[in-house]
Chain A
Amino acid sequence: MIATLLQIAGVFGLLSLLAFGGGAAVLPDMQRAAVEVHRWVTAREFLDMFAISRTIPPGSMIVVLIGQKAAGVAGGLVAFLAMFGPSSMLAFAMARLWHRASRAVWRETLERALAPVSVGLTIASGIAIARSTEQGWPAYVVTAGTTLLLAFTRLHPLVVMAAGAVLIMLSSS
């Protein structure tokens, strides 16, 4: 039991530090480790878990299900801490560095440089996720409609998302 927990901590702690660009980057490695190397879950279970956890914020929460299958609730919690702990510490170090430079000229310049990059990434990642997860025109219509409504009107996001959910249900029935 303890050995399994240590393995879980090791696997996900390492993946946490390799996940440049987000958890999706290490999904194939995660599958290999969980299914083939340690045999915590079957390939089918991994897909089910991916489907269940996909809509749960803030992403990468599949590790909780894998850990839970391997070693119960304790395993789920260890996987969770291992996946988010190390990267959070790096983010904290980055935040401290950023804060310490709050009056430096280079930070102001860097801020100006980062703004258009962030804006581009926000839009680009939305398009990339839509292309890799959505099938069929109803989903694209909902994404495009939501984009226009929320960018140019003051509608509440939940209202628009509920409308999207209803539209997809109607279109497939």
Chain B
Amino acid sequence: MANRSITSHSRARSAGPASLAALFMSFLTIGSTSFGGGLTGWIRRELVDRRGWLDDQQFLSCYALSQLVPGASNVNLAVLIGTQLRGVVGALVALAGLLLVPLAILLTLGSFYFAAHGAPGGRLLNEALAGAGAAAIGFNIATGIRLARHNVRRVGPALIATAIVVGIGILRIPLLEVLLVMLPTSLALALLERAR
């Protein structure tokens, strides 16, 4: 029940389509706050929780599709969500918003690095970044747990999610091999459920 109320709540808020300006601002915020990691968490928080442009189901679909395409999966996720919300212009706007601040900062860091012939920042900054990075990883895992609580409520899907966590997280089986096995399994399960 909790699941249903949350999903319908986010659907209710997505009454109006995303304006291009709002879409740009959202991804600009995501690109500026996700230093150190946690992109998946930030994207879901901004687009599902705060804006209500997508529900969890749509977010999860885009997330899975972003992993099936080669390249940085967070960039693919921005393209998939941007396209879903506002077509090709939406994809370009999402990309521009996401990448503008990181690109500017990296080009600046690059010129410092090439001028100084050494990594910028001191030991303290590196440790602060490592700490924020460790926390950001926790943010992504927490997002996964939240999504699991709301969207994986049957035994079959729960087993599939668990198998993927164990396979990739614990046993370190390559992503592609895990997907080649688990995607068809999950699909077979969904087909069985539909047939019933």
Contact = CB atoms under 8 A, between A and B. Distances in A.
Contact of B107 (A22, A68, A90, A146): A68
B174 A94 contact: no
Nearest to A26: B70
Contacts of B113: 48-49, 52, 65
- Secondary structure dominating the interface of A: helix
Given A64-B110, A122-B147, A94 B120 contact: no
Interface stretch (A3-11, A30-38, A106-114): A106-114
Contact of B95 (A88, A98, A116, A125): A88
A65 B112 CA distance: 11
Contacts of B165: 120, 123-124, 127
A40 to B, nearest CB: 12
Nearest to B83: A95
The range of chain A's interface size is 35 or more
The range of chain B's interface size is 35 or more
B151 interface: yes
Contact of A158 (B33, B164, B194): B33
Interface in B122-173: 124, 126-148, 151-152, 156-158, 160-165, 167-170, 172
Interface of A: 16-23, 25, 48-49, 51-61, 64-65, 68-69, 73, 76, 80, 83-84, 86-88, 90-92, 94-96, 98-99, 109-131, 133-134, 139-140, 142-151, 157-158, 160-169, 172
A16 B63 CA distance: 18
